[in-house]
Structure 1
Amino acid sequence: MITEHRSAILKAVAVFGTLLALMPVAGCSIITTDGGGTSSANTDNNATTKQVKDFGTIEFPKSGSLCSSPIAIAVEMGYFKEEGITPKLVTADAETRKVGLDTGRFPITNGDFQFFPSIEKGVKTSVVGALHKGCIKIAVKKGSSIKTAADLKGKTIGVDEIGGTPYMAANLWLGDAGLNVDQKNGDVKYLPFDDANLEFEALQNGQIDAAALWDPLPTIQEQKGTVDIIFDLGSDPKFSKRFCCFIYGSNKVIKENPEEMAAILRALNKARDYIAQHPEDAAKIITEKKYSTITDQALAVKLFKDYDYAVQTDESSLIESDVDYFVDGLKKIGFLETSDTSGFAKKIYQKIDL
């Protein structure tokens, strides 16, 4: 009787053990990615598996410019979520962004080469990626005799701010044409306007001779037939193939949480490729959800295509080359003090292992 009872117990244990082996293990979540941005729970040995770390809520600055669209697309398409990030968008001007990068409140922000002098002066940030090509244009009144950089000698150019990207882009173009762009005794004068619409009014009434501005306003005015575009950072032969809008990363986050920085860049790269492959859908999202001041979807599509958001092969080498180019250019026109431009360029670009 005891022998029979023991035999029954052993059989039961064997069956229970078999059932345990067939059951999934609770509490272990594996994320599988198919390379296209979608993810699902899966334990198939043939699937590519990747455990996603939860980085919690992370703040990202928003500006209303089309340049920052990859941040918005990464939010809307769930690319941040796929990387374990809960995004929170907050409004921030240029100075707030610099402070945020310094303290680590903002892990990244988008920005142009205008940040280079700020880095030289101590802002603790580095270029960690890129977003797109040129988005700055210089407009003159329709039918103006001003056609070239040389024609602007002795003239006044409107800008959004002294030291901003349109200001620096204009100086790079003028300096390359041989004009003196000394900030105090240069061949041109600059007049800042807080409101771009007021800048265009000043152009029409003759208060300024040219207006250097971010898109979309120059393009909108060109389509209306009120201005001629004499410089386009995105099509000018010396600038057209170069990134002008970079991704700046907080040095604090790069050092203390490199995994978080890599996750953010992966999400933004997915968003960039989405914009490049689906400009119409991306434009609809950006305009309808008011992520940008642009309300014309067709115009947004055109600019998305012009800016070339696609992630490129061996992009790190391209970014490094463009950083070096703009550092050298800014040094030549007196906006950087360093005597070692090559060393400075290498210092401010940090390649992140994705």
Structure 2
Amino acid sequence: MKKKVLSVLLVAAMAVSLAAGCGQTEKKDGGNASQESSVQEAENAGKSEDELWKEEPAYGRTLVITGGAANCVSAVVVADILGFMEEEGLDVEVQKIGSTEAMNAVATGKADFVTSHISQMTVPIINGLGLKMVGSAMTGCQSLYVLNDSPYQTTKDLVGKKVNIAAGTGSQDHNIVLRFMQHDGLQASDYQFVTTELSAVVQAMQNGEIDASLMGDMFAAKFVQQGILRPIRSLTTDEDFKDEPCCSFAVNADFLEKNPITVKKMVRAAAKASAWIDSHTEQSVQLMLDHGIMSGDDIESLNQIQGSFDWTVTQAKTEETLKLIIEEYKDLGLIDKSKDSAELLDTIWDGSVLSDDELEQVWEEGRNFEATSW
């Protein structure tokens, strides 16, 4: 098989304080929590997953899943389209909304499942946004682009130049570019960060208003094909980023605590869809075109980009990446250096929802699934 070629502005001083308070309470009550867990395990002994599932508050209700605004966050929607959600016994309603709106909807209980970029979710969750990441969607998806005929070959060539981050300062775009710079020995002050709408970026480059811009690879594909743009740094193809998950499945933290089996079923369905996408590139592109998840006329280019992502990233690799991102974000000043890294990881991540052994089984089912219609 071929391999393997967005931060919300939440001012959260109070939220951080509350989060810290909760952490202290958990430590203080650790013994009681352990006892309660043992009792619960005893009560659950001998019960099947479906029997336990029927005891959850979310059992039997319609679940709201968000995604499908772009191919990289669409596995959960593809899971619904291909019947994997129904196969898990889940009744779902899909909301195709922007990632920031989707994150807030899930955090406030208005929706149940979101797929978004790790660089968009990490800082807000640490600052009190009530989400928990529970699995990985895929690798890659964004790169730093310049005009094909420009003299810029590396990030260091852009020192003092205007670099566009379409989503604005503090956004996922900003965080991604900062990591590029960090890996290349640069500082944030080395670039003149500007904000130009994505739809106007290419013209702004051609007019000399900006020198480079972070873009989604799917968005940039047609311009690369036309010889207008080329990437100089990439989450998708560069050795230090290409194996990292870019996007993650997330749920409301309280929802996860009360409905672990419901969450497991949603993640399992999404993972099965991810494996199907990974092994059925041309079909998945056509499905996404048919359902308005992606657009474009150059099918060959769309297939190439779709196939350059790894849609099957283990829980272990996701956790490893999150640990690295926490440390790099501390160095960048995006996270308070005094905060305990292990506690931060526990705040943003729960990899126990589906084990890697379970994932491998689900992925095999997804690879072997043949869709006859959608």
TM-score by length of 1: 0.79
What SS does the corresponding residue of 2:308 show, helix, strand or coil? helix
Whichever residue aligns with residue 123 of structure 1, its letter is: L
Residue 146 (structure 2) pairs with residue 140 (structure 1) = yes
Look up the equivalent residue of 2:331 and give its one-letter code.
K
State the superposition RMSD in angstroms.
Answer: 2.1
The 5 A counterparts of 1:294-313 are 294=296, 296-310=298-312, 312=313
Give the whole-Å Cα distance in 2 for the aligned partners of 1:351 and 1:236. Answer: 26
Alpha-carbon separation, structure 2, partners of 1:208 and 1:345: 36
Determine the C-alpha separation between the residues in 2 that align with 1:299 and 1:222: 9
* Residue in 2 that maps onto 1:100: 105
Of 97, 107, 131, the match for 1:125:
131
Cα distance in structure 1, aligned partners of 2:204 and 2:215:
13
Residue 251 of structure 1: CA displacement? Answer: 0.4
Distance 2:263 2:298 in 1: 33
Q: Which amino acid is the alignment partner of residue 325 of structure 2?
A: F
Which of 54, 61, 65 is 1:60 aligned to?
Answer: 65
Name the residue aligned to 1:277.
279
C-alpha deviations, 1:168-199, integer Å up to 9, x for none?
11111112222221xxxx111222223x2201
Shift of 1:123: 0.2
What is the match of residue 323 of structure 2? 324
1:39-69 deviation line (CA, Å, top 9, x unaligned)? xxxxxxxxxx977866331111235211122
How far apart in 2 are the matches of 1:200 and 1:130?
Answer: 31
Identity of aligned residues (%): 21
Q: Does residue 1:83 correspond to 2:88, yes or no? A: yes
State the Cα deviation string for residues 176-226 of structure 1 (Å, max 9, x = none): 222221xxxx111222223x2201111111100101111212222111101
Task: Specify the alignment match of 1:216 in structure 2.
Answer: 218
The structure-2 alpha-carbon separation of the partners of 1:92 and 1:321, relative to structure 1 and needing over 3 Å to count, comes to same
Q: Which amino acid aligns with 2:61?
A: G
Contact 1:103 1:252 (8 Å CA) reproduced? no
Contact in 2 for aligned 1:136/1:234 (Cα 8 Å): yes
Whether 1:335 aligns to 2:334 is yes
Counterparts of 2:50 and 2:121, CA distance in 1: 35
CA contact (8 A) 1:101 1:249 kept: yes
Which residue identity lines up with residue 110 of structure 1 in the other structure? T
1:85-128 alpha-carbon deviations (Å, 9 max, x no partner): 12211132233223222222222211122211111211011110
Contact kept, 8 Å, 2:139 with 2:311, in 1: the verdict is yes
- Contact preservation (8 Å) 1:135, 1:214: yes
Are 1:165 and 2:172 an aligned pair?
A: yes
DSSP 3-state at the match of 2:243: coil
Q: Comparing both chains, which one has the higher relative contact order based on Cα–Cα distances under 8 Å and sequence gaps of 6 or more? A: 2
Counterpart residue type for residue 135 of structure 1 = C
User: Is the CA contact 1:130–1:247 (under 8 Å) kept in the aligned structure 2?
Assistant: yes
Mapped contact 1:287–1:297 kept (Cα < 8 A): no
Instruction: Give the 3 Å change call, closer, same or farther, for CA 284–317 of structure 1 in structure 2.
Output: same
- State the one-letter code of the partner of 1:246: S
Counterpart amino acid of residue 337 in structure 1: D
Structure 1: gaps (5+ residues) = 1-48
Tell me what 1:33 maps to. none
1:98/1:68 CA distance change after superposition, 3 Å: closer
TM-aligned CA deviation for residue 294 of structure 1: 4.3
Partner Cα separation in structure 1 for residue 344 and residue 148 of structure 2:
41
SS at match of 1:114: helix
Partner Cα distance (1:267, 1:50) in 2: 15
CA distance in 2: counterparts of 1:81 and 1:326, whole angstroms: 35
The CA distance in 2 between the partners of 1:219 and 1:150, in whole Å, is 24
Q: Give the TM-score, by structure 2 length.
A: 0.75
Rounded Cα–Cα distance in structure 2 between residues aligned with 1:295 and 1:264? 32
Q: Is the 8 A contact 2:126 2:347 kept in 1?
A: no
Please give the alpha-carbon distance, in whole angstroms, between the structure 1 residues aligned to 2:348 and 2:259. Answer: 18
**Contact 2:75–2:274 at 8 Å: present in 1 too?**
yes
SS at match of 1:160: coil
**Partner residue, 1:27:** none
**Correspondence for 2:27:** none
Instruction: Count how many residue pairs are aligned between Structure 1 and Structure 2.
Output: 299
Cα distance, 1:297 vs. partner? Answer: 3.4
The 8 Å contact of residues 222 and 298 in structure 2, kept in 1 or not, is answered as: no
Q: Structure 2: any 5+ residue segments left out of the alignment?
A: 1-48, 355-374
Instruction: Report the structure, 1 or 2, having the larger strand content.
Output: 1
- Please tell me whether residue 153 in structure 1 is matched to residue 159 in structure 2: yes
Matched-pair contact (CA < 8 Å) for 1:110–1:247: yes
In 1, Cα distance between equivalents of 2:253 and 2:301: 36
Task: Please tell me whether residue 351 in structure 1 is matched to residue 351 in structure 2.
Answer: yes
**Residue 179 (1) aligns with residue 160 (2):** no
Residue 234 of structure 1: how far off its partner (Å)? 1.0
Contact 2:68 / 2:77 at 8 angstroms: preserved in 1?
no
Please list the CA deviations of residues 273-328 of structure 1 after superposition, one character each: whole Å capped at 9, or x if unmatched.
11112111111111022122445433332222111113x5xx22111101111111
Answer whether contact 2:134 2:353 (CA < 8 A) is retained.
no
Number of the residue aligned with 1:20: none
